[in-house]
Amino acid sequence: MTPNISTPLLQAEKLTVRFGGLVALNGFNLSVPKGGLIGLIGPNGAGKTTVFNLMTGVYKPTAGTVLFEGESIGGRPAHAIARRGIARTFQNIRLFSGLTVRENLLAATAYARRHETFGTILGWPASLARMRANEKKVEEMLSLVGLSAHADAEASSLPYGSQRKLEIARALMTDPSLLLLDEPAAGMNPTEKEALRKLVAQIAARGLGVLVIEHDMRFVMNLCTTITVLDHGEVICVGDPKTVQNDKAVIEAYLGVEESHGLA
């Protein structure tokens, strides 16, 4: 099924989910290698975000398996999957609106630093030193995504594009080995999109697997090495950008069948 010699980072096999009578995803297969940049595209309602929700434990699969680093994670609770090393962003941005930009990133390290709670409250020097080291990490992340100037602003007061960047930064703060980006370029201007493309490529170059849902075709085609196309919950095409662009089924899914005018 996969051409990779080593075990892929993430492997979904025959993943199916039904909501009542609706089959949202049917027999979905996908493989993400380490350092891989995989695109997931398809018309609205094709089931792309459903794939993300199955892989991150928001939904439980009706059938099929999700293997992460060789271990089955399908149906496990969301926080347990996140702790295994899968981080994500959301299509409808989910920042912590009551927290500042900096605090959003600090919240992302809450689980990793859970043993520091007592030391921080009691003011132990070792704990305070580790707290400052963590704060420094946050500052580095802020400058990586270009949000240092807005560190103290309320997260919800940022422009749309910056909120997306903050979500990516927040996901990266958990030190994941797989990053799922749900429409990261939405609401960005062409300059911002180009900067984001470079940032995501840079993240993958560090050895992270990246799976991207995106409607901006230029962005996906320039970024990803392999693209999976979904339509009505089924994979209709897998391949490199060129193959996908010239695939008849893909063109039909996006533009419709030529002779279908006037028919029921």
Partner 1 sequence: MSDVLSYLSLPLTMLAVFGIQALSLQLILGGAGLLSFGHAAYFAVGGYVAAAVSVFALPALGLDPSTSPLFSLFVAALAGLLASGLTGFLVALPCLRLQGDYLAMATLGFGEIVVTVLKNVDAVGGTRGFKDIPKLTHPLALWLTLAAVVVFLHRLYASPLGFAIRATRDDEIASRSLGISTNRSKVLAFSIGTGLSGLAGAFHAHALQFISPDAASFDRSVEILLAVVLGGMFSLRGSLLGAFLLVALPEVLRFATPAIAEKRVLFFSLAVILLMILNPKGLAGLGDRLFHGLRRRPRNPPGASGSTGVPT
Judged by the rule CB under 8 A, the positions of this chain that interact with partner 1 are 56-58, 77-79, 82-83, 87-88, 90, 94-100, 103, 106-114, 116-117, 120-121, 123, 131, 152-154, 157, 170-171, 173-174
CB of 150 to partner 1, least distance (A): 9
Residues 124, 242: Cα–Cα separation, whole Å:
58
- Phi, psi for residue 28 in degrees, rounded to 5: -80, 130
Please give the order of strands across the beta sheet that includes 63-68. 22-32, 10-19, 63-68, 71-72
- Sign of the CA dihedral running 196, 155, 209, 60: negative
Q: How many CB atoms lie within 10 A of CB 108?
A: 21
Q: Which residues contact 74 (CB under 8 A, 6 or more apart)?
A: 15, 54, 60, 61, 64, 65, 66
Q: What is the CA radius of gyration of the chain?
A: 20
Question: At its nearest, how many Å lie between partner 1 and the CB of residue 131?
Answer: 8
- Nearer CB in complex with partner 1: 16/100: 100
User: With respect to partner 1, which residue has the nearer C-beta, 96 or 215?
Assistant: 96
**CA torsion angle 69 74 79 84 (round to 10):** -10
Cβ closest to partner 1, residue 25 vs residue 180: 180
Q: How far is CA 16 from the centre of its chain?
A: 20
Q: How far is 39 from 150, CA to CA, in rounded Å?
A: 30
Instruction: Return the amino acid letter for 258.
Output: E
Residue 90 or 219 with smaller CB distance to partner 1: 90
CB 158 within 8 A of CB 149: no
Nearest distance from residue 174's CB to partner 1, in Å? 6
